[in-house]
């Protein structure tokens, strides 16, 4: 049984214990999960309950056993799925009243940063749609804004060509355009608009992203491309399993702005030179723990979750610690007291080198000039050396297309550069294979297939 190494602290244990008891009584899957782990709810504390995850719970038990026994799928107004980018898609039914409660905080978040309801606003959903939960839920939550202001919503389903066509036709009707979505999709259509000389920097774009962390360089370069500043780019954190978990506040956005050009500050705050996702969490709605360095969520929802391990790496950062580090760096900024922020590094794939590590290196080397954002890599360990086999997709017309002999020389040179830049306690050897752009695996349900 795993125990909390570092908890989110002061929790309302009576609520989460009640949810655990209710789930054991009404969800046959959770009752079986406890029985499999030989756990009696009356004999253990909440923090000693066994963890659930995709392998031992959502993929093991059918959906009809994970919802309340007095419910059927026909009782739910919408059925969504996970993207299936790393495994078989999982079914997640949505409850209408529960989802109505998500709309006000969504509107409040956009208002806090962009005066959402005070301006003529076009919202672009830059997630995949279909059955994927991220796209469908942000589409639905964005509609709610039209009750409070002059707000329109479009959902081009991650299609860069269609997005550019629509924004070029529509932007002059609005005071601002808020793009909500997955960073690679956002980057794709903005780059395409620039290539077409359509001047996206004049579209009054604002960016709200989730789905993966981005590098400091991505934030700065994207702000330049949209003709704004770093305050025009904010993030949130959610998951298919637990829905919306936390938002980047104005104070967090200011903290991130200080970090963009100060890697020592980033390291002191986050113990990495990369820039993780950083959000405020309503711990009354989503009870968050950190167990062995991973984010564990308990949530009362259509499919109840009790100590569900998202396998995202992270930790809780106290505002007192933030202030001490800011003072140490002689930064004249007073961070609000008594706040606990959730720091998210990304998915734990049991690897030494993460996707975010790779993305940061690519941003430093400005490889987007020559390669598509998609890549695949495989990691192996050989006598204490990490060997990375990396596949990149060359853009047509660049120096990376042409004679194979020339490309092989370039591959070796680039591999050495990447090896030096990867932050790892172990030596790293990179092997690169450059492929034609026609061989790309592309998006699956709105997400790039990195692996």
Q: Would you write out the chain's pLDDT as a tens digit for each of its 451 residues?
A: 333 333 443 445 678 989 999 999 999 999 999 999 999 988 889 999 999 999 999 999 999 999 999 999 999 999 998 766 556 788 999 999 999 998 999 999 999 999 999 999 999 999 988 888 888 999 999 998 889 999 999 999 989 999 999 999 999 999 999 999 999 899 989 999 999 999 999 999 999 999 878 888 889 999 999 999 999 999 999 988 998 999 999 999 999 999 999 999 999 999 988 889 999 998 878 999 999 999 999 999 999 999 999 999 999 999 999 999 999 999 999 999 999 999 998 775 556 677 777 887 888 888 888 898 888 888 888 778 888 899 999 988 888 877 778 788 888 899 999 988 887 777 889 999 999 888 887 776 666 765 4
Q: Is residue 214 assigned to a domain?
A: no
* pLDDT of amino acid 12: 57
**Same domain membership, residue 63 and residue 129:** no
Q: Is residue 443 assigned to a domain?
A: yes
Q: Is residue 410 assigned to a domain?
A: yes
* pLDDT of amino acid 5: 39
- 179: CATH: 3.40.50.2300
* pLDDT of amino acid 1: 34
* pLDDT of amino acid 214: 84
DSSP-derived secondary structure for 26-41:
H-HHHHHHHHHTT--G
Which residues share a beta bridge with 390? Answer: 377, 432
**Same domain membership, residue 119 and residue 37:** no
Q: Is residue 106 assigned to a domain?
A: no
- 444: CATH: 3.30.300
Range of the domain at 205: 113-209
**Same domain membership, residue 146 and residue 65:** no
**Same domain membership, residue 361 and residue 280:** no
* pLDDT of amino acid 3: 37
**Same domain membership, residue 412 and residue 363:** yes
* pLDDT of amino acid 299: 94
Which residues share a beta bridge with 341? Answer: 280, 317
Q: How many domains does the chain have?
A: 3
**Same domain membership, residue 287 and residue 182:** no
Q: Is residue 101 assigned to a domain?
A: no
Q: Is residue 103 assigned to a domain?
A: no
* pLDDT of amino acid 9: 38
Residue-wise burial string across 294-303, b where 16 or more C-beta atoms lie within 10 A, e elsewhere = bbbbbbbbbb
**Same domain membership, residue 337 and residue 242:** yes
Contact 163, 156 (CB under 8 A): yes
* pLDDT of amino acid 420: 87
Q: Is residue 328 assigned to a domain?
A: yes
Measuring CA to CA, which residue among 373, 370, 357, 365 is closest to residue 189?
373
Distance, in Å, from the CA atom of 195 to the CA atom of 176, rounded to the nearest integer, reads 22
* pLDDT of amino acid 43: 87
Distance, in Å, from the CA atom of 389 to the CA atom of 378, rounded to the nearest integer, reads 5
Distance, in Å, from the CA atom of 442 to the CA atom of 131, rounded to the nearest integer, reads 18
**Same domain membership, residue 339 and residue 234:** yes
**Backbone phi, then psi, for 428, in 5-degree steps?**
-125, 130
Q: Is residue 104 assigned to a domain?
A: no
């Amino acid at each position: 049984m795993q125990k909390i190494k570092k908890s989110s602290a002061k929790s309302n244990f009576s609520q989460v214990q009640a949810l655990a008891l209710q789930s054991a009584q009404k969800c046959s899957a959770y009752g079986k999960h406890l029985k499999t782990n030989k756990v009696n709810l009356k004999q253990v504390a909440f923090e000693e309950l066994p963890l659930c995850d995709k392998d031992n719970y959502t993929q093991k038990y059918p959906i009809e056993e994970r919802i309340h026994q007095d419910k059927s799928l026909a009782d739910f107004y919408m059925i969504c799925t996970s993207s299936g980018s790393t495994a078989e898609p999982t079914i997640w039914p949505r409850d209408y009243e529960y989802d109505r409660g998500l709309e006000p905080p969504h509107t409040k978040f956009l208002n806090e940063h962009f005066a959402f309801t005070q301006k003529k606003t076009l919202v672009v959903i830059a997630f995949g749609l279909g059955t994927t939960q991220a796209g469908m839920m942000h589409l639905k939550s964005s509609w709610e804004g039209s009750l409070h202001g002059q707000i329109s919503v479009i959902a081009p389903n991650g299609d860069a060509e269609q997005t550019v066509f629509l924004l070029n036709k529509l932007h002059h009707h609005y005071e601002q355009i808020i793009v909500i979505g997955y960073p690679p999709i956002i980057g794709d259509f903005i780059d395409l608009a620039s290539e077409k000389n359509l001047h996206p920097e004049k579209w009054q774009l604002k960016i709200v992203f989730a789905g993966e962390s981005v590098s400091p360089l991505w934030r700065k370069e994207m702000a330049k491309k949209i003709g704004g500043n770093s305050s025009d780019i904010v993030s949130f954190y959610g998951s298919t399993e637990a829905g919306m978990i936390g938002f980047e506040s104005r104070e967090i956005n200011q903290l991130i702005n200080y970090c963009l050009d100060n890697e020592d500050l980033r390291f002191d705050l986050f113990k990495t030179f990369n820039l993780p996702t950083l959000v405020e969490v309503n711990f009354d709605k989503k009870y968050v723990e950190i167990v062995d360095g991973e984010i564990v969520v308990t949530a009362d929802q259509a499919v109840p979750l009790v100590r569900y391990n998202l396998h995202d790496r992270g930790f809780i950062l106290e505002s007192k610690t933030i202030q001490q580090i800011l003072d140490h760096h002689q930064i004249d900024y007073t961070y609000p007291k008594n706040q606990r922020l959730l720091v998210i590094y990304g998915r734990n794939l049991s690897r030494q080198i993460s996707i975010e590590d790779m993305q940061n290196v690519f941003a430093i080397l400005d490889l987007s000039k020559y390669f598509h954002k998609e890549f695949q890599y495989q990691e192996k360990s050989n006598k204490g050396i990490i060997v990375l086999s990396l596949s990149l997709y060359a853009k047509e017309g660049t120096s990376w297309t042409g004679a194979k002999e020339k490309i092989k020389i370039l591959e070796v040179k680039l591999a050495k550069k990447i090896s030096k830049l990867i932050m790892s306690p172990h030596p790293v050897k990179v092997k690169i294979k450059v492929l034609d752009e026609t061989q790309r695996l592309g998006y699956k349900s709105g997400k790039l297939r990195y692996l």
